[in-house]
Amino acid sequence: MKLPEPQSNMQGCDFEAHTLDLPQCCPVSHNPLPGSTVTICYRPGAYVLDIVTLYTYIHQYVGGLQDENGEIIVRDLEVMIARIAEDCAQVVQVPVSACARLLLTPKQSLYAFVRKKPESKGCLSQ
């Protein structure tokens, strides 16, 4: 798994919110449906998330997030949102919130909100 890349916070932003369209991750149900989004929010310190690698990172969840051996380690959408917040917090080294609006089959939506803190100091860009 590849984490999003950090960028130096040269602009001095007080708050960042990245909203990304979520791909259809489940090959069976095709959930989440088009129109589903995740918004990643944080008050940057020394680092901000790189938007190009963030897009690539999110798409690793299509078909289930796999470890280096090809084993699926994240399959549920709620766990996916929690993992996104956790990984982003590790990269930027500040608390991160992830809020998702998941459009699901059959005809329902789910709002998930997760807040995670970084576990240790230092960027974990891999």
Say which range, 26-30, 79-83, 120-124, has the weakest mean pLDDT: 120-124
- Domain ranges in the chain are 6-115
With beta carbons less than 8 A apart as the criterion, state whether 22 and 38 touch: yes
Residue linked to tokens 């998941």: 102
Give this prediction's pTM.
0.87
Nearest to 79 by CA among 124, 48, 110, 53: 110
Burial 21-59 (b: 16+ CB within 10 A, else e): ebeebbeeeebbbeebebebbbebeebbbbeebbeebbe
Domain 6-115 in this protein, CATH class: alpha beta
With beta carbons less than 8 A apart as the criterion, state whether 20 and 54 touch: yes
Return the pLDDT at 126: 41
Whether residue 125 is predicted with pLDDT greater than 50 in this model: the reply is: no
